[in-house]
Amino acid sequence: MLIATAALTVTSSQALTSIQIQEIKTAVLSVPVPEMPATAAALVKKAQKKDRQAVAITAVRAIVVKHKAAAPLVISAIAKVAPELAPVIAAAGAEIAVDQASMIANAAAVAAPAHAVEVSVAVAKAAPAQSSSVAVAANRSMTRGSASAGSGTGIITISDTPISPTGGAGNGTFPLSPPTQATDPRVIYNQPPQ
């Protein structure tokens, strides 16, 4: 497994020297596991544009080989700072953590929604046995069903006005005065009204 990983790192990281590759591995593996995604993302963000892909793939592979459970988090963090790399890093992670391919695809697609289709294809190629679950995971992150029983659009709109334009005070606003007291108040605690 270690030989295969080393071979994968060399072929995808030709733009980096062996010293740079070792520095990246040391940087991401020398921090506690919860800090690895942020550390990897910071390395990718500060890398020169020509080296970003190689740095990202090296960081992903180094972390996933040692801590497979961190794969979706690392890939998501890197995809947020470099969305164009989401398909490549997701495939790199899925090659090592095949059993997590659908979670990796979902994490990358959510972090880089503009590249969700490319992520799905790349991860399905990297983990062909998981291709059906990868497609479902990536599709789930790209679409959202409507909450209404009718034929809604699924678009979420946030507004500070009532749902009904005539709701609230009858004019589309909430009343500023306190509510009026009920004329026949009844307090019922443990029994039905009589």
For 141-168, write each residue's pLDDT tens digit: 555 555 555 555 555 555 555 566 665 5
Q: Is residue 127 one of the residues assigned to a domain?
A: yes
Report the pLDDT averaged over residues 122-146: 72
Question: Which of these, 105, 103, 100, 140, lies nearest to 120 by C-alpha position?
Answer: 105
Q: Is the pTM of this model over 0.75?
A: no
Expressed as residue numbers, the domain containing 82 is 2-142
Which pLDDT belongs to residue 190? 72
Report whether 61 contacts 90 (CB < 8 A): no
Give residue 10's pLDDT band: very low, low, confident or very high (50, 70, 90): very low
Amino acid letter at 62?
A: A
Q: Is residue 126 one of the residues assigned to a domain?
A: yes
Q: Is residue 9 one of the residues assigned to a domain?
A: yes
User: Contacts from 117-126 at CB under 8 Å and sequence distance 24+?
Assistant: 117/142, 118/86, 118/87, 119/86, 119/87, 119/90, 121/87, 122/87, 122/88, 122/90, 122/91, 123/87, 123/90, 123/91, 123/94, 125/91, 126/90, 126/91, 126/92, 126/94, 126/95, 126/101
Which pLDDT belongs to residue 15? 72
Domain count for the chain, please give it: 1
The span from the first CA to the last CA of the chain, in angstroms, equals: 76
Q: Which residue has the higher pLDDT, 13 or 161?
A: 161
For 58-70, write each residue's pLDDT tens digit: 999 999 999 999 9
Which pLDDT belongs to residue 1? 38
For 72-108, write each residue's pLDDT tens digit: 999 999 999 999 999 999 999 999 999 999 899 999 9
Q: Is residue 168 one of the residues assigned to a domain?
A: no
Residue 27 has pLDDT above 80, yes or no: yes
Q: Is residue 22 one of the residues assigned to a domain?
A: yes
> 70-74, 107-111, 137-141 — which is least confidently predicted?
137-141
Residue 14 has pLDDT above 70, yes or no: no
Around 94, how many Cα atoms within 13 Å sit in the side-chain half-sphere?
A: 30
Which pLDDT belongs to residue 59? 96
* % of the chain beyond a pLDDT of 90: 46
Q: Is residue 174 one of the residues assigned to a domain?
A: no
Q: Is residue 188 one of the residues assigned to a domain?
A: no
Average pLDDT of the residues of the chain = 79
